[in-house]
Structure 1
Amino acid sequence: MKHDADAIVVGAGAAGLMAAWHLAQAGRKVLIVEANDKPGGRINTLHNAGFSHYVEAGAEFVHGELPFTLQLLKEAGIEYTPMSGELLQYKKGEIQEQHDLVEHNERLKKPLNDLAYDMPVEDFLNKYFPGVEDAAMRQSVKRFIEGYEAADAKRASIIAMKEDLMEDDSEQFRVEGGYGKMIDYLVKQCDQNGCMFRYSYPVKHIHWSEGNVRVDTPAASYHAQQVLLTVPISILQAEPNEEHAIRFLPSLERKWEAAKVIGAGIVMKFLLEFKTAFWKENAETKDMGFILSDEIVPTWWTQTLEGSMLLTGWLAGPNAAKLKDDDEDMLLDDALNSLSNIFKIPHVTLREQLRTWYIANWQHQPFIKCAYSYATVGSKEAKEELNKPESSTIFFAGEATYIGQAAGTVEAALASAVNVVKEMLNHRPA
Structure 2
Amino acid sequence: MGNSDMMENQVSEYDVIIVGAGLAGLSAAKVLHEEGKSYMILEATERPGGKVYSKTSEDTSRYFELGAQFINKEMIEIVKLIEETGMTLTRNEGTQNSIVISDKSKELINLDFSDITDTLGAISGEHFDSKPLDQVLEKHISQKRKRQILKSFIAAETTVNSRYINAEAMKNLVSRVTTTTSGLEYQASDPLSNVIKYLETLNKDAIHYLEPVAKVKETKSGYTLKTKNKAKHHTKALIMAVPPTAASRITFSSTIADHYRPYLESYTDGAVIKMTFVYDTPFWRERDIKDKKKSIYGVIYSAHEGVNLMDSSKESGENRLTLFIGGDKAKELADVPIEVKEFYARERLIEVLGEDAEHYKDYEISEWQHSPYYGGGYGAIIHHHGIPDANKTLREPHRNMVFASTELAFDFPLFMEGAVRSGQYAAKRLLEKMSENVTE
TM-score by length of 1: 0.83
Structure 2 unaligned segments of length 5 or more: list them: 1-9
Q: Is the 8 A contact 1:112 1:162 kept in 2?
A: no
2-side partners of 1:227 and 1:102: how far apart?
33
2-side partners of 1:229 and 1:418: how far apart?
13
One-letter amino acid of the structure 1 residue matched with residue 218 of structure 2: W
What is aligned with 1:427? 433
What is aligned with 2:245? 234
1-side partners of 2:233 and 2:332: how far apart?
40
Seen in structure 2, the aligned counterparts of structure 1 residues 182 and 357 have a Cα distance that, compared at 3 Å, is same
What is aligned with 1:57? 66
> Alignment RMSD, CA only?
3.3
TM-score by length of 2: 0.82
What is aligned with 1:187? 200
One-letter amino acid of the structure 1 residue matched with residue 253 of structure 2: L
Q: In the alignment, which of 216, 221, 233 is matched to residue 222 of structure 1?
A: 233
Is 1:24 equivalent to 2:33 in the alignment? yes
Seen in structure 2, the aligned counterparts of structure 1 residues 166 and 47 have a Cα distance that, compared at 3 Å, is closer
Q: In the alignment, which of 282, 305, 316 is matched to residue 326 of structure 2?
A: 316
1-side partners of 2:108 and 2:181: how far apart?
16
Q: Is the 8 A contact 1:374 1:408 kept in 2?
A: no
One-letter amino acid of the structure 2 residue matched with residue 149 of structure 1: T
Seen in structure 2, the aligned counterparts of structure 1 residues 91 and 370 have a Cα distance that, compared at 3 Å, is closer
Seen in structure 2, the aligned counterparts of structure 1 residues 25 and 107 have a Cα distance that, compared at 3 Å, is closer
Seen in structure 2, the aligned counterparts of structure 1 residues 358 and 32 have a Cα distance that, compared at 3 Å, is same
Structure 1 unaligned segments of length 5 or more: list them: 239-245
Cα offset, 1:43, TM superposition: 0.6
Is 1:381 equivalent to 2:393 in the alignment? no
Is 1:89 equivalent to 2:96 in the alignment? no
1:18-417 equivalence runs, <5 A? 18-48=27-57, 52-63=61-72, 65-85=74-94, 86-92=98-104, 95=106, 97-101=108-112, 112=122, 114-118=124-128, 119-129=131-141, 131=142, 134-154=143-163, 155-157=165-167, 158-160=170-172, 163=175, 169-172=181-184, 173-191=186-204, 195-219=205-229, 220-238=231-249, 246-250=250-254, 252-274=257-279, 277-279=282-284, 282=287, 287-294=295-302, 296=304, 298-302=307-311, 303-345=313-355, 350=358, 353-371=359-377, 372-376=379-383, 379-392=387-400, 394-402=401-409, 404-417=410-423
2-side partners of 1:355 and 1:51: how far apart?
16
| Greater displacement, 74-83 / 222-231 | 74-83
What is aligned with 1:241? none
2-side partners of 1:2 and 1:201: how far apart?
14
Q: Is the 8 A contact 2:274 2:323 kept in 1?
A: yes
Cα offset, 1:422, TM superposition: 1.8
Seen in structure 2, the aligned counterparts of structure 1 residues 156 and 64 have a Cα distance that, compared at 3 Å, is farther
Q: Is the 8 A contact 1:38 1:199 kept in 2?
A: yes
State the SS of the aligned residue for 1:38: coil
Cα offset, 1:293, TM superposition: 2.7
2-side partners of 1:424 and 1:110: how far apart?
34
Cα offset, 1:199, TM superposition: 1.2
